[in-house]
Amino acid sequence: MEHSLQTTNLADILERVLDKGIVIAGDITISLVEIDLLNIKLRLLIASVDKAKELGINWWEADPKLSARADDLERENHLLRRRLNDLETTSQRKPPRRRAKRSQNRRNAALGAAAGSR
């Protein structure tokens, strides 16, 4: 009698997992006297990038720390924050008083009215 053994190597298993995807979920709760001290919810999805995109998962594309331009974006963000801070600082300064100019205009108007009435 002959036995046929089907062997599957690690590469085949990994290919299947990445192609189909696998979800691992679990909850860990540490309690003392029926009071939850720590509650951890684990959700793990293992899949290929193509499969994840097919499922609508693409958070890594928008994460600046994972993009090639992460340093450039960080530098630009820092410069923009500094410019905004400078603008806010200058807008909070009180403008110079203009009373002297107003009183000069009132004097000129009064002199013009007096000259017109003569």
Residue-wise pLDDT tens digits, 38-74: 999 998 888 888 888 888 888 877 776 777 777 787 8
Of 94, 77, 73, 75, nearest to 85 by C-alpha is: 77
Other Cβ atoms closer than 10 A to 51: 16
Task: Give kind and range of the element (H or E) at residue 4.
Answer: none
Dist CA 8 CA 114 (whole Å):
109
23: helix, strand or coil: strand
Q: Quick one: tokens of 67? A: 């993009």
Q: In DSSP terms, which residues pair with 35 in a beta bridge?
A: 32
Phi, psi for residue 22 in degrees, rounded to 5: -145, 140
Weakest-pLDDT range from 18-22, 62-66, 88-92: 62-66
Are 45 and 52 in contact by the 8 Å Cβ rule? The answer is yes
Is pLDDT above 80 for 89?
yes
Are 21 and 47 in contact by the 8 Å Cβ rule? The answer is yes
